[in-house]
Chain A
Amino acid sequence: DVKVTQSSRYLVKRTGEKVFLECVQDMDHENMFWYRQDPGLGLRLIYFSYDVKMKEKGDIPEGYSVSREKKERFSLILESASTNQTSMYLCASSPAWEDTQYFGPGTRLTVL
């Protein structure tokens, strides 16, 4: 059974703080994704990665960066958190050449 875990379920940070969201998958998947989930907007892709040290911008990369130093781990970084980054963040993974994605439980981030 595919398992995607995220480091925190809930996180509260202050404006201007640097924030790290961690995602780990245990199925040796090549592809990993970061989305934010907002009511009325659905899921929007922030960044994705096809392999270690590879990263590509998604639809809304502004204000975010990512890191993938190991195949199983994909980190989302908010360099200077702002209130408009308050959201639910979902990580997902998939095998190479496979469209079906497996999601983590999400991290609800609040920026005050």
Chain B
Amino acid sequence: AQRVTQPEKLLSVFKGAPVELKCNYSYSGSPELFWYVQYSRQRLQLLLRHISRESIKGFTADLNKGETSFHLKKPFAQEEDSAMYYCALSRGAQKLVFGQGTRLTINP
């Protein structure tokens, strides 16, 4: 069965410190993975997808098929990065399965 696991419900780091939000998945096929973000009082929106191989707002995510992971990283956290982050896996037919979410707090 397709599953996405985000082991950390809460993550707190200081401004300027590196950030890593963990995401592990289980999927038998070739996965397509996404990170979505929800800032306070805003709608859920796409942050990045692995096939784009791009950096958005300083965030990157590398798909590691051996470890079945898609961790989200940023070298220097900023206060505006505080948000709820969801990792998601495409399970075919345009359907997504989401992880439980990680609430990231950046302390000044």
Chain A interface (Cβ < 8 Å from any Cβ of B): 4, 31, 33, 35, 40-45, 48, 50, 58, 90, 92, 94, 96-106
Contact = CB atoms under 8 A, between A and B. Distances in A.
B21 to A, nearest CB: 13
Interface residues of B, number: 21
Contacts of A41: 100
A45 B9 contact: no
Contacts of A48: 95
Contacts, number: 51
A100 B49 contact: yes
Nearest to A94: B94
B79 to A, nearest CB: 23
A103 B44 contact: yes
Interface in B9-66: 9, 32, 34, 43-46, 49
A48 B95 CA distance: 9
A43 B98 contact: yes
Given A40-B9, A40-B100, A42-B101, A98 B43 contact: no
Contact of B96 (A96, A99, A102): A99
Given A43-B86, A90-B44, A101 B96 contact: yes
